[in-house]
Structure 1
């Protein structure tokens, strides 16, 4: 009789303790890929963790001593802001000229992104690049690639950002140089769409500046321009997969074994669920047809409970029989 009551009580205790491993498990999958760097939140489609985020943005962002950096072929840029609702990033290049400082050592990054990634990561239409000290035989003036590319005096995009106003900056203390009508202008303002790559070596320029506007904000002059590179991004295939994944408690990632530039149409999307991965969402069953597998920690914990409570009961029952 005492043995029967003991078994009932311990069985009830075991049932009460079984949910514990699920409560004690690590961060829920929906937060597994979200991270922070300094004061910036890194979330889908970006990630600093391998396998997380969309494959189109893999190996792009790196957190170095609490500073978020974006790395592309032209160099590394500090990420000042990620605007998820408007799908844009604001970048800073320390070797870029501003209104207060003119850098003409030819070592600035410019902006060149991988061809396969350029379809969904590129400077915003309202971003104007002002190329400085380009040689007369630069492709800018000799035809790019087969026709002359006129420099914009004051660009129609970017809220009037252009070289004519830029010359009024303190950085141009003595104003632009002369040289006559045949000489190349000291500054040539272009939109990114016109050249597709701000490669200073190829364009034979000594430096550059970049400024953008945030409509409908209007500024009075170059001192008030927003200096930096405003980059727009888009997600190949859209957000439908990730929304469905997160709605069922999963975290959005990709198959890291797929080669770079492949699967960027979303075909390599993965939803990280509690203890297993899905190619749809966490309400689906895994590839073996089984319901969600219990995590290793849950299995160990359950085995521990069985060893602590059930085995003594069996031993006690054997001793009393």
Structure 2
């Protein structure tokens, strides 16, 4: 074979091989689906994908996406990437039709290291039910008048007392709303207590609802029940991720050091996947990557020899 023919053969082999390596770095590498819910940055189902603050958070079980934190497991109803919110369902949450007592509900408690990333939205009302007179909610009540109970986004216990679920329990509105002790229902925002821990708050159950602006509903029977959680990442991490995806990578993190990584198929970069030559810069190379480097170096040698 002539020298020119040999060079052409090498280049042809590279052209066949390069797309196989580089295409693995497509931005959909970490994108997953569970049922009808799309899972993408900052969330992930695969180890090393997504933001480290959301690791070991979502699990796909029989095509049902589950969200797990220290207070328990919740079904994920929706992830809204445009508004950065995730909607959760607790099977033991009280609604207007069904009041669930007996300490069965999860509440909502996140680990301290997750707190900067996850918090229920400001329009989400929590209604704590059947709390004891010794509950931290009512310290100093009624003499100190320090009860945190109040309406949130137009939703609160005054309306909730009219729900059919109370009547089914044999409790009438008048018996719930009036009395000498603390109220049977105490509505408040998550920011008011920072943690909906039913055991520590000594409450029998809870309800949670949120508004869907600009929809206007007539009462608690039409409220949307569930927990809507806002999520966030650092602004500089957003910029880093956009640069990574713009060059065909997927945003991820180092599972050991938790530092951010741009996943480029069979290799990782601490910056992005902008060129093939970054195979040995800021990341790890597989045997296939090293073989590709050898192809490039060999071709360069033969091209130089041919010109001379």
Relative to the length of structure 1, the TM-score reads 0.80
| Corresponding residue for residue 117 of structure 1 | 114
| Corresponding residue for residue 273 of structure 2 | 282
Q: Which one of the candidate residues 188, 202, 217 is aligned to 2:186? A: 188
| Corresponding residue for residue 255 of structure 2 | 256
Q: Does 1:22 align with 2:18?
A: yes
Q: Does 1:45 align with 2:36?
A: no
Are the structure 2 counterparts of residues 13 and 223 from structure 1 closer, same or farther at C-alpha, using a change threshold of 3 Å? same
How many residues are paired up?
A: 286
1:237-252 equivalences in 2 (<5 Å): 237-252=236-251
| Corresponding residue for residue 160 of structure 2 | 166
Do the aligned partners of 1:122 and 1:233 also contact (CA within 8 Å) in 2? yes
- The whole-number CA distance in structure 1 between the counterparts of 2:9 and 2:71 is 62
Q: What does the per-residue CA deviation read over 1:219-278, in whole Å, with 9 as the maximum and x for residues that have no partner?
A: 1111110100010011024400000111111111111112xxxx6xxxx11111243221
Do the aligned partners of 1:22 and 1:298 also contact (CA within 8 Å) in 2? no
Are the structure 2 counterparts of residues 99 and 186 from structure 1 closer, same or farther at C-alpha, using a change threshold of 3 Å? same
Deviation at 1:88, TM superposition (A): 0.5
Q: What does the per-residue CA deviation read over 1:87-125, in whole Å, with 9 as the maximum and x for residues that have no partner?
A: 100000001111111100112100000112112200000
- The whole-number CA distance in structure 1 between the counterparts of 2:9 and 2:35 is 45
Are the structure 2 counterparts of residues 221 and 233 from structure 1 closer, same or farther at C-alpha, using a change threshold of 3 Å? same
SS in structure 1 opposite 2:183? Answer: coil
Do the aligned partners of 1:274 and 1:292 also contact (CA within 8 Å) in 2? no
More helix by share: 2
Do the aligned partners of 1:275 and 1:295 also contact (CA within 8 Å) in 2? no
Q: Which one of the candidate residues 59, 62, 65 is aligned to 1:68? A: 65
Do the aligned partners of 1:130 and 1:208 also contact (CA within 8 Å) in 2? yes
Do the aligned partners of 2:268 and 2:284 also contact (CA within 8 Å) in 1? no
Q: Does 1:139 align with 2:131?
A: no
| Corresponding residue for residue 306 of structure 1 | none
Give me the CA root mean square deviation: 2.9
Deviation at 1:297, TM superposition (A): 7.9
Gap regions ≥5 residues in structure 2: 296-308
SS in structure 2 opposite 1:239? Answer: helix
Q: Which one of the candidate residues 247, 252, 260 is aligned to 1:269? A: 260
Deviates more, 1:275-284 or 1:132-141: 275-284
Deviation at 1:170, TM superposition (A): 1.2
Gap regions ≥5 residues in structure 1: 304-321
Do the aligned partners of 1:131 and 1:188 also contact (CA within 8 Å) in 2? yes
Q: Does 1:198 align with 2:189?
A: no
Do the aligned partners of 1:128 and 1:162 also contact (CA within 8 Å) in 2? yes
Do the aligned partners of 1:99 and 1:223 also contact (CA within 8 Å) in 2? yes
Do the aligned partners of 2:270 and 2:282 also contact (CA within 8 Å) in 1? no
Greater Rg by CA: 1
Are the structure 2 counterparts of residues 290 and 149 from structure 1 closer, same or farther at C-alpha, using a change threshold of 3 Å? closer
Do the aligned partners of 2:125 and 2:210 also contact (CA within 8 Å) in 1? yes
Deviation at 1:141, TM superposition (A): 0.9
| Corresponding residue for residue 214 of structure 2 | 216
Relative to the length of structure 2, the TM-score reads 0.83
Deviation at 1:8, TM superposition (A): 6.3
